[in-house]
């Protein structure tokens, strides 16, 4: 036998015996998070991060092949829910859809509810799921291509039934046991459940927006009893959900005539957020000579801040730090689309609120002054949609 080969075999056997002889007291430490979250805990995709302390707290055990949606949280903060799709042969075979329930203290799955394999495979976007305002029924938007809702009772942890919603898509909470959906003809569908989660009524109202001339994005934001959806052209469409029927309120524009002349447009996938206590609306925008086929295809390069009472712009901020150069962008691909700004924004709702932007990296600043706290978080694994952990605020 070749001397070199003999030497290699000896080394391999020696180290194998050494490794076999070693004993380990632990396979690693795991911590349990408190049930009540801190106001600055934010999910970036499935990773939970304390954005003030720049500390990675953990990652939820969502299967990489599960094609999960974003998280929804129970009223007592003990559980969070997402919808996943699995195939028996990885990316093919028999499909199973589940509402998966996670323990918020361990970020581990604890239960699942099987639902019809129809949910829209859209990833983590607005309108994929909605928890009713009394925190009992979770609605899942289905697309087969027929549209419908699957309703799940999260208290009893059981599938209730399916509600057909032809021509209307996405789902948003709009009352104790009511949801709203956006329709292809520019109308809105109101779906009300009975006490058991079955269909009680459906009401369709026309004329909310112009689907041909100026469609709206799915990234609506809730302001008390109002939903605000913004059109591709920057027009805000308020929708009041406080009464027995949905009410359309007067629309208004984020853009002045001068802004339009300078080719400013809304941009970004997660382009709107509201700080409830100060009635401030934050919007991602960018300049583009040509209209965007989809604002989500391009990052926002600035954040414009509006007072919702006066409907006037009160502040302009850069979307990402000027210091964030090509070296940073080359090593962090967190949620960026065009690579020159931010694709998502989020505001925490505590006393010392912060504005979080995600794009070529993740930056954190004071939500009121705009002053940077962290120009780039260093301890953020993963990527994806921003979700406020403490949704009860």
Task: Give the position of tokens 């974003």.
Answer: 70
Sign of the C-alpha dihedral computed for residues 337, 386, 104 and 163 taken in this order: negative
In order along its 393 residues, the chain shows pLDDT tens digits of 554 444 444 444 444 444 444 444 445 556 788 877 788 888 888 888 999 888 889 888 765 554 567 788 888 888 999 999 999 998 899 999 999 999 999 999 999 999 999 999 886 788 999 999 999 999 999 999 999 999 999 999 999 999 999 999 999 999 999 999 999 999 999 999 999 999 999 999 999 999 999 999 999 999 999 999 999 999 999 999 999 999 999 999 999 999 999 999 999 999 999 999 999 999 999 999 888 888 988 999 999 999 999 999 999 999 988 754 444 443 334 455 667 899 999 999 878 899 999 887 889 999 999 999 998 887 676 556 788 765 544
What per-residue confidence (pLDDT) applies to 325? 46
What per-residue confidence (pLDDT) applies to 31? 75
Task: Give the position of tokens 């990652």.
Answer: 59
Please state, in angstroms and rounded to a whole number, the distance separating the CA atoms of residues 229 and 126: 11
pTM of the model: 0.86
Q: Which CATH number fits domain 68-208: 3.40.50.2000, 3.40.1190.10, 2.130.10.10, 3.40.710.10?
A: 2.130.10.10
3-state secondary structure 166-178: CCEEEEEECCCCE
Question: Over the Cα atoms of the chain, what is R_g?
Answer: 24
Alpha carbon of residue 114 to chain centroid: 22
Bridge partners of 305, per DSSP, are: 282, 315
What tokens were used for 194?
Answer: 């009975």
How does DSSP assign 283-344, residue by residue?
EEEEE-SSPPS-GGGS-BSEEEEEETTTTEEEEEEESS-TT--HHHHHH--SS-SSSSSEEE
Residues of the chain with CATH 2.130.10.10: 68-208, 231-322+335-392
Residue 199: CB atoms within 10 Å: 17
Task: Outline where the chain has alpha helix (H).
Answer: 3-21, 257-261, 326-331
Strands of the 362-366 sheet, one edge to the other: 342-347, 354-359, 362-366, 372-374
Question: Counting beta carbons within 10 angstroms of the beta carbon of residue 258, is it exposed (0 to 12), middle (13 to 18) or buried (19 or more)?
Answer: exposed
Q: Does residue 254 contact residue 303 with C-beta atoms inside 8 Å?
A: no
What per-residue confidence (pLDDT) applies to 223? 96
What tokens were used for 335?
Answer: 């949620």
Bridge partners of 241, per DSSP, are: none
What per-residue confidence (pLDDT) applies to 28? 53
Question: Counting beta carbons within 10 angstroms of the beta carbon of residue 160, is it exposed (0 to 12), middle (13 to 18) or buried (19 or more)?
Answer: buried
What per-residue confidence (pLDDT) applies to 339? 73
Q: Rounded to 5 degrees, what are φ and ψ at 359? A: -170, -110
Task: Give the position of tokens 């006490």.
Answer: 195
What per-residue confidence (pLDDT) applies to 3? 45
What per-residue confidence (pLDDT) applies to 323? 56
Please state, in angstroms and rounded to a whole number, the distance separating the CA atoms of residues 142 and 244: 26
Please state, in angstroms and rounded to a whole number, the distance separating the CA atoms of residues 331 and 352: 30
Alpha carbon of residue 143 to chain centroid: 19
What per-residue confidence (pLDDT) applies to 23? 43
Please state, in angstroms and rounded to a whole number, the distance separating the CA atoms of residues 6 and 28: 37
Is 231-322+335-392 a domain of CATH 2.130.10.10?
A: yes
What per-residue confidence (pLDDT) applies to 379? 67
């Amino acid at each position: 036998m070749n001397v070199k080969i003999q030497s290699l075999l000896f080394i391999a056997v020696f180290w194998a015996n050494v490794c076999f002889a070693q004993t380990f007291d632990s396979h690693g430490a795991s911590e349990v998070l408190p049930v009540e979250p801190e106001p600055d805990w934010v999910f970036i995709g499935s990773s939970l991060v304390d954005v003030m302390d720049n500390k990675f707290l953990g990652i939820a055990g969502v299967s990489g092949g599960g094609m999960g949606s974003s998280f929804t949280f129970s009223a007592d903060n003990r559980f969070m829910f997402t919808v996943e799709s699995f195939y028996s042969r990885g990316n093919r075979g028999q499909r199973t859809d589940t509402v998966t329930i996670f323990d918020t203290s361990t970020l581990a799955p604890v239960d699942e509810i099987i639902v019809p394999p129809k949910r829209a495979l859209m990833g983590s976007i607005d309108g994929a799921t909605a928890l009713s305002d009394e925190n009992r029924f979770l609605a899942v938007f289905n697309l087969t291509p027929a549209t419908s809702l699957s309703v799940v009772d999260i208290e009893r942890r059981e599938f209730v039934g399916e509600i057909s919603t032809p021509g209307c898509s996405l789902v948003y909470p709009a009352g104790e046991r009511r949801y709203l959906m956006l329709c292809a003809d520019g109308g809105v569908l109101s779906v009300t459940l009975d006490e058991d989660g079955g269909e009680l009524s459906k009401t369709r109202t026309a004329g909310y927006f112009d689907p041909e001339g100026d469609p709206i994005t799915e990234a609506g934001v809730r302001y008390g009893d109002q939903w605000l959806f913004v059109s591709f052209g920057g027009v805000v469409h308020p929708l009041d959900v406080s009464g027995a029927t949905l009410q359309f309120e007067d629309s208004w524009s984020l853009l002045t005539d001068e802004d339009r002349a300078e080719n400013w447009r809304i941009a970004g996938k997660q382009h709107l957020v509201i700080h409830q206590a100060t009635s401030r609306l934050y919007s991602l925008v960018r300049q583009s000579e040509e209209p965007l086929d989809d604002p989500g295809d391009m990052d926002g390069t600035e954040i414009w801040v509006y007072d919702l009472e006066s409907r006037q712009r009160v502040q302009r901020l850069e979307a990402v730090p000027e210091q964030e150069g090509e070296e940073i962008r080359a090593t962090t691909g967190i949620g960026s689309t065009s690579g020159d700004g931010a694709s998502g924004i989020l505001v925490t709702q505590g006393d010392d609120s912060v504005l979080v932007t995600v794009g070529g990296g993740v930056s954190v600043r004071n939500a009121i002054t705009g002053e940077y706290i962290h120009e780039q978080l260093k301890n953020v694994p993963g990527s994806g949609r921003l979700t406020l952990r403490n949704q009860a605020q």
